[in-house]
A and B are shown apart, each in its own frame.
Chain A
Amino acid sequence: MAAANYKHDNTVERSFELFVLQEGEKKITEKVVSGMSNCSDFLLLKEDHTLGNLLSAYLRMAPHVMFAAYKIGHPNVPEVLIRVQTDGSITPREAFLTTLKQLVALYGQLGREFQKELALRKYADQSENAAADAAGPSGTSGQNGI
């Protein structure tokens, strides 16, 4: 029974089986769905809704993708299955890769935007604090409302 659903056999040694690949496991494998045209299943091991929902949502927005969805077969089993069907002009693998690269770039852009905004926020806070200091002793520095 423990082998069928190892999370029921919950011990301290196994606590990172949720996110660390075991010997010989591959993070992602593609399996072509035989009954449907231009359709593949991607099995992600040791992943959860974080990637499943993100990838299927962005695949659905991608061009040439007709269908994309994900499922997590059992809440205790850290595996995500993402099915992608395209219109035939690109393969599901190409669509998947394009989406992945797009997301890496988007998060990179978010990081840059955030650092830029943060520097501006700090600058605004500093000048406000300087003004407050000039007017009188300030309370906690850095506190700032909207």
Chain B
Amino acid sequence: MDYDPMIMDDAEALGPVVKISQADSVRVKWELSNTDISFANSLRRVMLAEIPTIAIDLVEIEENSSVLADEFIAHRLGLIPLNAEGIDSLLYSRDCDCDGCCEHCSVRLILHAKCTGDENMHVFARDLVPTGDRINQVLGTPIINDSEGLGPLILKLRPGQEIKLECIAKKGIAKEHAKWAPSAAIGFEYDPHNKLHHLDLWYESDPKAEWPPSEYAAWEEPPQEGEPFDYDAVPNRFYFNVETAGPLPPDVIISEGIKVLQQKLAGLIHELADEGGDGGVNGDGYNGGGPRSPEYGAGAGMDGFNGGYTTPFGGAAAGNQSAWGGAGGATAYGTTPYGAGSSWS
């Protein structure tokens, strides 16, 4: 918070303002201000439910002599976070031309373990081995963040027991199943002093003593003693805490969320402008009436994102080439007539 006064100079005068208080490989804590609550909440909802990732969706069990039932193991496998880097170039299997699944719309993982010793054996996510052709070398690999490099425990085997199975990981969004959620949690908070009375805090005798102040309470003016209620006040500062489950870095979750939301809005523009024929944007391939995925025009304008996530994390800070990295507003829709500038402030 010690650097923000100077950067406001070149910020666009109106429109959303961002302050980041913490950013690491697990979480980004940031404040979004100067915008409407619906703007912030839509972004939150999209980050929770509509960012495509990859998760195990089909399991073919060849041998299972463990104590756990097949479907129990299949469910556990589905919940294992897999690396989603480069997911943009993977197709939804419902959109793929193949019969069932292929390397363009899925990643195969094999698990084969047998307990040959005389002590119980632990089978971890690291024992899941991706096989076959993949879009890149990391897509679909189980996320392993613990210091021993094991990953989540899948099951345990007694001496002589064996597990052999093949998994098919597919692209999906968390609206279909929570296993596709990129985030472990998204904290969302506003009005820490409850000045707007959006909350009715239950209390035993003294709400001040019973409700500890939020960590953001220090960021905003506490209410004065006897201050009258401001009927015109609206929430204006929103505190996000985006924590990743592993598939995508947390800052990528935010930028992908923005991208997905822009795609949803752009899809409406295309269809509405096209339908009226009022000389607006003519849909280029967006108008097929057939079933399609939420990701409009996956191949069309999104190429800037395909080379993996060059986030500022891990690499040099300069390698910040997301779709909107360019100063000239090269958004994902930079080529369309409406996305080029920021004339809509």
Which residues of chain B are near A56, meaning CB under 8 Å? 38
Q: Which residue of A lies closest to B16 (CB)?
A: A110
Q: Are B16 and A105 in contact (CB under 8 A)?
A: no
Output the residue of A100, A102, A126 with the most chain B CB within 10 A. Answer: A100
Query: B217 — which chain A residues lie within 8 A by C-beta?
Result: none
Beyond A100-B269, A121-B23, A142-B25, is A114–B38 a contact (Cβ under 8 Å)? no
Output the nearest chain B residue to A112 by Cβ-Cβ distance: B324
Chain B residues, Cβ within 8 Å of A30: 272, 275-276
Residues in A with CB closer than 8 Å to B325 are: 115
Please measure, in the bound complex, the distance between the C-alpha atom of A142 and the C-alpha atom of B28, giving whole angstroms.
11
* Contact residues of B between 265 and 299, Cβ < 8 Å to A: 265-269, 271-273, 275-276, 278, 280, 289-294
Instruction: Select the stretch in B125-133, B149-157, B256-264 that faces chain A.
Output: B256-264
Q: Which residues of A contact B1 (CB under 8 A)?
A: 146
List the A side residues contacting B17 at CB < 8 Å: 113
Chain B proximity of A91: nearest CB distance (Å)? 9
A120 and B3 form a contact (CB under 8 A): yes
Q: Using Cβ atoms and an 8 Å threshold, which residues of chain A touch B11?
A: 113
Interface segment out of the listed B66-74, B158-166, B171-179, B194-202: B171-179
Distance in Å: Cβ of B190 to nearest Cβ of chain A: 15
Residues from chain B with a CB closer than 8 A to the CB of A112 are 324, 329, 331
A61 contacts B265, CB within 8 Å? no
Residue of A whose beta carbon sits closest to that of B32: A110
- For residue B322, CB closer than 8 A to chain A, the reply is yes
How far is it, in angstroms, between the C-alpha of A119 and the C-alpha of B320 when the chains are bound? 8
Complex contacts, B320 vs chain A, CB 8 Å: 115, 118-119
Interface residues of A in 125-142 (CB under 8 A from B): 125-126, 142
A24 close to B262 (CB less than 8 A): no
Q: Give chain A residues whose Cβ lies under 8 Å from the Cβ of B37.
A: 57
Q: Does A116 count as interface, using CB distance less than 8 angstroms? A: yes
CA–CA, A109 to B331, complex, Å? Answer: 9
| 21 pairs of residues in contact across A and B, judged by CB atoms under 8 Å | A19-B176, A20-B293, A30-B276, A50-B50, A57-B38, A58-B36, A103-B39, A104-B269, A105-B344, A106-B35, A106-B39, A108-B329, A110-B16, A110-B35, A111-B255, A111-B324, A113-B12, A113-B17, A117-B7, A121-B23, A125-B23
